[in-house]
Amino acid sequence: MTDGRRIAILGATGSIGAATLDVVANLQRHAPDAGWRVMSVSGHSRIEELVRSAEAASPKPRTIVVSDGQKITEAEEEISRHGLTGHCQLDTGADALVRAATDPEVDTVVAGIVGRAGLESTLAAVQAGKRVGLANKETLVIAGPVVTAAATSSGSELLPIDSEHSAIYQCLAEARGLASTRSASQLGHDVGSSRVTAEANGRCDFGSPNHAFPGVRRLILTASGGPFLNSSSEEIDAATPAEALNHPTWDMGEKITIDSATMMNKALEIIEAKWLFDVPADRIEVVVHPQSIIHSLVEFEDGSVIAQLSPPDMRLPIQYALTYPHRLPCPAPPLERTQRWDMSLIPVDLERFPALELGFEVARVGGTAGVVLNGANETAVPLFLSGKIRFTDIARLCKQTLQDHNHESAPSLARLLELDTWSRQRAAQLAETISVA
């Protein structure tokens, strides 16, 4: 029997959080004595929903975290109204997320907060040596080297939840197996310990002379193409928020849905892959796959390509991150095989989706570029949703903000946080000069 995990779900009221709660409930039904347990749930604004999720969990989470410190009274009232007083303790404010992420009784943290707001708690979980199921890709985009260095020193396992990166992690199983069958002396000097760390973190050392994951040529991320895959440049320029929020294959939170429409999501995922798998940008490719069944592919040196397939349902990558290296029955439906499968792979169009080029560029230069791109994008998306800028201005603002910043290749975390603030201010200033008319 696979031992259950004691899990903190950060961002429990979101799309990833809700799917995680469902996965854990299913694992509990499947193996009632294994000890699967949600230790804490966090939410920011939808307090009633958060408290209801705690009420539905069994056993009840020990802690309900409300990260917005303004919502203490509302949270207390909801906890009382749902009969949870005395069962769940309330912790509030941004620091409460860090306390939940580092709770000694928690062994696994699901990082399901959207955007930069998830950075401190995700990093704290990594520093505390937890297994981290990473949905919050923005943390790696902002501070990839800081997070991966922290994982190496704490022994934290970074298990991707993003479906593409989970797919790559799964496709790399063969390379990972090969690496672990080689002795330290075969691999060369000093590689024994780094191999163990790389294995633990699922990272492959493409750039180093000691290929911890031998034989891998390229990582190929699939992109659905979003709602504008077949739209003209003019149609994309005139896209409304409602059109951009209408994703053809995935049901997700608002921000990532807009990121999917601009393909900024794929740009962020290129950067995420670079840090997660320790791979240079020129070893990453993107291919459009509208059906969202092939979640990504790995090409090996002999030309063989291994892919991971499943219907678009986040419960599978979430569960994989929780149960790795074991596989257990999952509530996500399997592939329907009684009907014709259409699976197409289409080259990306960088002209209609300029955000993608930014992802490759930022992955190439690293350093401060990721935080600047992310800050500008997190500023531009709400401006588009509130009608202040056009859809195509999102990538335009991001590009200009990147061009306006003085790149540094090895920034500290403090410097990255300064640039997070700067990039938001700069993107907002630039937006003022744009007319939506």
| Measured distance CA(254)–CA(381) in Å, rounded | 9
DSSP-based three-state secondary structure for 251: coil
Binding of ligand NAD at residue 9 (CB under 6 A)? no
133-141, 188-196, 302-310, 375-383 -> range binding ligand NAD (CB under 6 A): 133-141
Binding of Mg ion at residue 259 (CB under 5 A)? no
What is the chain's length? 437
**Interior CA angle at 415 toward 413 and 419, to 5°?**
115
Binding of ligand NAD at residue 101 (CB under 6 A)? no
Question: Which residues within the stretch 362-421 sit at the binding site for ligand NAD (CB under 6 A)?
Answer: none
| CA–centroid distance for 121 within its chain | 14
Judge if the upstream peptide bond of residue 325 is cis by omega within 30 degrees of 0. yes
Nearer to ligand NAD, 100 or 297 (CB): 100
Q: Which amino acid type is present at position 277?
A: F
Binding of ligand NAD at residue 165 (CB under 6 A)? no
Nearer to Mg ion, 195 or 289 (CB): 289
Residue found under tokens 């696979």: 2
Q: What is the DSSP string of 364-416?
A: HH-TTHHHHHHHHHHHHHHHHHTTSS-TTHHHHHHHHHHHHS---SS--HHHH
Q: How far is the CB of 215 from ligand NAD (least distance, A)?
A: 28
Judge if the upstream peptide bond of residue 280 is cis by omega within 30 degrees of 0. no
Q: Which does 114 bind (CB under 5 to 8 A by kind): ligand NAD, Mg ion, none?
A: ligand NAD
Q: How far is the CB of 394 from Mg ion (least distance, A)?
A: 18
Q: How far is the CB of 344 from Mg ion (least distance, A)?
A: 18
12-20, 145-153, 223-231, 289-297 -> range binding ligand NAD (CB under 6 A): 12-20
Binding of ligand NAD at residue 162 (CB under 6 A)? yes
Distance set, CA 306 to CA 161, 173, 203, 220, 413 (Å): 19, 10, 17, 10, 36
Q: Which does 383 bind (CB under 5 to 8 A by kind): ligand NAD, Mg ion, none?
A: none
- 66, 114, 158, 286: which one contacts ligand NAD (CB under 6 A)? 114
- 17, 144, 359, 375: which one contacts ligand NAD (CB under 6 A)? 17
Least Cα distance to 162 among 205, 114, 120 occurs for 114
Name the residue whose CB lies closest to ligand NAD.
Answer: 14
- 162, 278, 393, 420: which one contacts Mg ion (CB under 5 A)? 162
Q: How far is the CB of 156 from ligand NAD (least distance, A)?
A: 18
16-24, 95-103, 159-167, 355-363 -> range binding Mg ion (CB under 5 A): 159-167
The contact pattern for ligand NAD, residues 319-348, with x = CB under 6 A and - = no contact, is: ------------------------------
179-187, 251-259, 303-311, 411-419 -> range binding ligand NAD (CB under 6 A): 251-259
CB count within 10 Å of CB 145 equals: 17
Residue found under tokens 């992310």: 374
DSSP-based three-state secondary structure for 300: strand
Nearer to ligand NAD, 49 or 174 (CB): 49
Q: Is the dihedral of CA 208, 209, 211, 215 positive or negative?
A: positive
- 123, 168, 216, 252: which one contacts ligand NAD (CB under 6 A)? 252
Under 8 Å between Cβ of 371 and 419: yes
Nearer to ligand NAD, 161 or 427 (CB): 161
- 22, 78, 103, 138: which one contacts ligand NAD (CB under 6 A)? 138
In the chain, helix, strand, coil percent, each to 5?
A: 50, 15, 35
Q: How far is the CB of 5 from ligand NAD (least distance, A)?
A: 19
Q: What is the DSSP string of 253-279?
A: -HHHHHHHHHTHHHHHHHHHHHHHHT-
Nearer to ligand NAD, 65 or 416 (CB): 65
Nearer to ligand NAD, 4 or 133 (CB): 133
Question: Which residues within the stretch 32-51 sit at the binding site for ligand NAD (CB under 6 A)?
Answer: 43-45
Contacts of 334 by beta carbon, 8 Å cutoff, 6+ apart: 310, 311
Under 8 Å between Cβ of 305 and 167: no
The site for ligand NAD (CB under 6 A) is made up of: 11-17, 43-45, 67, 112-114, 117, 135-138, 162, 250, 252-254, 256, 314
The site for Mg ion (CB under 5 A) is made up of: 162-164
